Amino acid sequence: MMLTRHLLQQKITLLEPFYEDQTAAFAVSVARELLLYMDKN
């Protein structure tokens, strides 16, 4: 499975309601950073 920008945004949306959980919060922050990186390249 190829990670696309759209798929990454979907995963962020799914995880955001669980942002109080440390693991989910970490995953969301990493995914957002990855989106920024994808925008630069």
Domain range for 14 is 5-40
Say what the pLDDT of residue 1 is: 73
Give pLDDT tens digits along the chain (41 positions): 788 999 999 999 999 999 899 999 999 999 999 999 998 97
How much is the pTM?
A: 0.81
Name every residue whose Cβ is closer than 8 Å to that of residue 12 and which is 6 or more positions away in sequence. 28, 31, 32, 35
Please give the pLDDT value at position 26.
97
Give the residue carrying structure tokens 């970490």.
26
Domains held by the chain: number: 1
